[in-house]
Amino acid sequence: MVRSSVNWRDRRRRKFGGMAGASVATFGLLLSACGSSSAPTSTAAATATKSSFQATHFTTNLKGICPNPLVVQTNWLPEPDHGALWELIGSGGTMHQYTYTGPLGSTGINMEIIAGGPGDNYLPEPTALYAGNPVVRVTPDLGMGSLDTAIQQSKKFPVVGVVSLQEHDPLVFISDPKTFPNLKTLADVISAAKKGAHFYVSSLQSAYVQYFISKGVPESAFIGGYAGDLSKFVTGQGMIVQQGYATSEVYNLEHNTPAWNKPVNFNFFSNYGLNDYDEVIEVAKPKLAAMKSCLTKLVPMIQQASVDYIQHPSTVDKVLNKFNSGGFGASYWSTSLAYSKAAVARMLKYDLVGNSHGGTGPIGEINLTRLGQNISSLVPIYAKQGSTNYLPGLTPSDIATNEFINPSIKLPNSTG
């Protein structure tokens, strides 16, 4: 399973390359061929069983301080990567098509989570924070996106990231262990390309593809058009290296693809010098001042919810499964309990969710030095592509702040 002119780095473009219209139907067939269960689209509402944990755990008063309801646009259909947001509502929410709404603990306000992908017509982030969601017809207060997209759109649609749900980027190259057992470094990737490997990616215009090309990987080694289909990898006789997520495609190749269903190798893009922040909660920059009082109280709750979910994910995983299998997302998207369990295990094992600064800092904090390195790597690529959407002279503080982070909130026993 999976996630243009705007690069494919947030979940919808990284996973699905900006699908729309007929390509969505095609994608559904592809996933079905890979063993994914489907569910009928539903416009009915379903209410989960109330849970008291959130009411006794998230108690800071937000009434009159935050918007009510607080509307958050996610970057893809509900999945374990979004677990911290769903943890804020828990099992006490109401399901409608593309939305999950319920009390945010006992804070005095409600929260509405909107699915991305078909839930916002595949809008590139952070467009929805400015143009509004054309499907649900609201303008979100907060959005979830990747910081490389924030870099690219920093002039056209400026946003500020205030807390990250992931410490490291889950994007990987997946390879056949018998053909390419080691793709740990850029030199390994270049060597594989010289031996005839082809890298199946969403688009040759994606920022990270251009990054690899700038580092010496031949452009001819890339095949564009990845839209969730795993058949090229399966039939490629080991010579196809697949773009994917450690929390998604890896599991599906090993467990949900009958024509494969065996171990694969995977190596993180962070090993190649590009370590994006993929799941960042952002606010439109013009609204930052007005949202400060809210964010001061809300961001620590999101940090705590990140800790709570990753330590005890079962309740939220059941809600995610019920939402997706109930047809409130999309027929081609499924998150079985086994899938979510494997995703959380990988998040912990590979520090995809963990404390910042190598394990010593608070969870959710954005490393501005690392962000600055990404800006230095990506801006020349956007400039070469002729983009006029990024802010000249961009600095990390233009697109991210840690002022709302509570430094004492950490994942226990994290080793970084």
Higher pLDDT, 267 or 35: 267
**Three state DSSP letters for the chain:** CCCCCCCCCCHHHHHHCCCCCHHHHHHHHHHHHCCCCCCCCCCCCEECCCCCHHHHHCCCCCCCCCCCCEEEECCCCCCHHHHHHHHHHCCCCEEECCEEEEECCCCCCEEEEECCHHHHCCCCCCHHHHHCECCCCECCCEEEECHHHHHHCCCCCCEEEEEECCCCCCEEEEECCCCCCCCCCHHHHHHHHHCCCEEECCCCCCHHHHHHHHCCCCHHHEECCCCCCCHHHHHCCCCEEEEEECCCHHHHHHHCCCCCCCCCEEEEHHHHCCCCCCCEEEEEHHHHHHHHHHHHHHHHHHHHHHHHHHHCCHHHHHHHHHHHHCCCCCCCCCCCHHHHHHHHHHHHHCCCCCECHHHCCCECCCCHHHHHHHHHHHHHHHHHCCCCCCCCCCCHHHHECCCCCCCCCCCCCCCC
pLDDT tens for each residue of 391-403: 999 999 999 999 9
pLDDT tens for each residue of 260-319: 999 999 999 999 999 999 999 999 999 999 999 999 999 999 999 999 999 999 999 999
**What confidence score (pLDDT) does residue 107 get?**
97
**What confidence score (pLDDT) does residue 159 get?**
98
Q: Per-residue pLDDT for 1 more than 80?
A: no
Q: Per-residue pLDDT for 415 more than 90?
A: no
Q: Per-residue pLDDT for 177 more than 50?
A: yes
Percentage of the chain exceeding pLDDT 90: 82
Q: Per-residue pLDDT for 216 more than 90?
A: yes
**What confidence score (pLDDT) does residue 228 get?**
83
pLDDT tens for each residue of 242-269: 999 999 999 999 999 999 999 999 999 9
Q: Per-residue pLDDT for 47 more than 60?
A: no
**What confidence score (pLDDT) does residue 52 get?**
81
The band of 48, judged by pLDDT with boundaries at 50, 70 and 90, is: very low
Q: Per-residue pLDDT for 57 more than 50?
A: yes
The band of 49, judged by pLDDT with boundaries at 50, 70 and 90, is: very low
**What confidence score (pLDDT) does residue 217 get?**
97
**What confidence score (pLDDT) does residue 6 get?**
30
Higher pLDDT, 322 or 17: 322
Q: Per-residue pLDDT for 212 more than 90?
A: yes
Mean pLDDT for the chain? 88
**What confidence score (pLDDT) does residue 51 get?**
60
Mean pLDDT score, 174-190:
96
Q: Per-residue pLDDT for 241 more than 80?
A: yes
Percentage of the chain exceeding pLDDT 70: 87
**What confidence score (pLDDT) does residue 124 get?**
82
Q: Where do the domains of the chain lie, and which CATH numbers do they carry? A: 45-168+278-399 (3.40.190.10), 171-272 (3.40.190)
Lowest model confidence (mean pLDDT) among 33-42, 248-257, 306-315, 340-349: 33-42
**What confidence score (pLDDT) does residue 227 get?**
82
Mean pLDDT score, 113-135:
94
**What confidence score (pLDDT) does residue 385 get?**
86
